[in-house]
Amino acid sequence: MNRTHSPFDETTEDEASLWAARLEGAELTPRERSDLASWLAGGPGRREALSGFCRLSRRLDQAVSELVASGAIEIREPELVRPRLGPGRLLAAGLAAAALALGCVWFLGQSGRAESYSAPAGQRQTFTLSDGTRIELNANTSVVVENGRSERRVRLANGEAFFVVSKDKARPFIVDTPAGSVRVTGTIFNVLTETSSQLDVTVVEGSVQVRPGDGGSNAPAEPVGLGAGDRLSAVKGGVALSRLSDSDLGDLLAWRQGKIVCKMMPLSEALALFAHYHGRTISVSPGAAALHVGGRYSIDDLDGFLAQLELVQQDHKVRIDHGASGSIRVSLRAEP
């Protein structure tokens, strides 16, 4: 299908549609608000593009509600969807993206019913699609799924998801993120995206084709093929490939068992993982950020991790301060 004329390039349209979905779906975290500000400042026309998607999303939200009320279409609210993510709003955001990018609104009778699923802060969720595909969501992750006749498509705007894709050569399975896409027919893989320019793909079984889409000059022109044990990390300006041992693969996917594995990890990175999972604001001073931690921890037990941190890092005299709003600051007692 050809695109209609648009004043914005394809990448800007795709990224703006995903930001519109995130703004409609839930309140942004401080980190996400910072990412959005950076994205808006990163290119001409981005603010106008986002505004257009948000306006059209509101109009389509009203139209969808009228169609549902008249019985013209039916939208089933999935059991695992987060309550604050109204199915009309998320569907409207997806329809808005299609309307501007492709010049038409999804015809649900042809493409399949769009459904949204979400895992709130501090929880992991698993669900199975009608084709048998299983998707596991890490905390603070939402996806929109469209099981169509010619393809199966998932939009992952932010977060982490593990896919066990049912084989169907006639209907490829595509995961779209702000930083690129992953295409398979049937395999097992993990996708992480936390900013509009970051994409991490890890393959457990089978093979995938990854097309990083951050627009950087060093991004590959053709899709990158990955096999079992391969990991691709794409950030703005480049793509890195690595081969994981069985042990490293297990550590990276430990979140599925509610664990976080640190191997001399900078404390700032470990705290960022806990902050994202729990939806908490955790700041760290420069001195504390440079410390390294090791071990296997329960990602659900933030208080336990902080208590052990104070115990293990006694020589550095780590201090934990809790704010009235639930925020946490980690610093060294020697720091002001």
CATH of the domain at 311: 3.55.50.30
Q: Are residues 156 and 276 in the same domain?
A: no
Q: In whole angstroms, what is the distance from residue 160 CA to residue 252 CA? A: 12
Q: Are residues 128 and 183 in the same domain?
A: yes
Residue that terminates a domain, selected from 184, 219, 249: 249
Phi, psi of 329 (to 5 degrees): -125, 130
The set of long-range contacts for 109-115, using a CB threshold of 8 Å and a minimum separation of 24, is 110/148, 110/149, 111/146, 111/148, 111/149, 112/146, 112/147, 112/148, 112/149, 113/75, 113/76, 113/146, 113/147, 114/144, 114/145, 114/146, 115/76, 115/78, 115/87, 115/144, 115/145, 115/146
Say what the alpha-carbon torsion angle 114, 115, 119, 120 is, to the nearest 10 degrees.
90
Q: Quick: pLDDT tens for 252-273.
A: 999 999 999 998 899 999 999 9
User: How many domains in the chain?
Assistant: 2
Q: In whole angstroms, what is the distance from residue 172 CA to residue 333 CA? A: 55
Q: Are residues 275 and 311 in the same domain?
A: yes
Residue that terminates a domain, selected from 195, 225, 249: 249
Position 59 scores a pLDDT of 55
Residue 280 domain-assigned (yes or no): yes
Q: In whole angstroms, what is the distance from residue 152 CA to residue 130 CA? A: 11
Residue that terminates a domain, selected from 199, 224, 249: 249
Q: What is the mean pLDDT of residues 62-86?
A: 49
Confidence of residue 226 (pLDDT cuts 50, 70, 90): very high
What residue numbers bound the domain in which 233 lies?
Answer: 10-249
Q: What is the mean pLDDT of residues 108-125?
A: 76
CATH of the domain at 189: 2.60.120.1440
Write down the mean pLDDT value for the chain. Answer: 78
Q: What is the mean pLDDT of residues 88-94?
A: 44
Q: Residue 141 contacts by C-beta under 8 Å, 6 or more apart in sequence?
A: 118, 119, 156, 158, 159, 160, 161
User: Parallel, antiparallel, or unpaired for β 328-332 and 282-284?
Assistant: parallel
Residue 97 domain-assigned (yes or no): yes
Q: Quick: pLDDT tens for 51-62.
A: 766 666 555 555
Supply 60's token pair: 């389509």
User: DSSP secondary-structure letter at 27?
Assistant: P
Position 336 scores a pLDDT of 72
Q: Are residues 311 and 245 in the same domain?
A: no
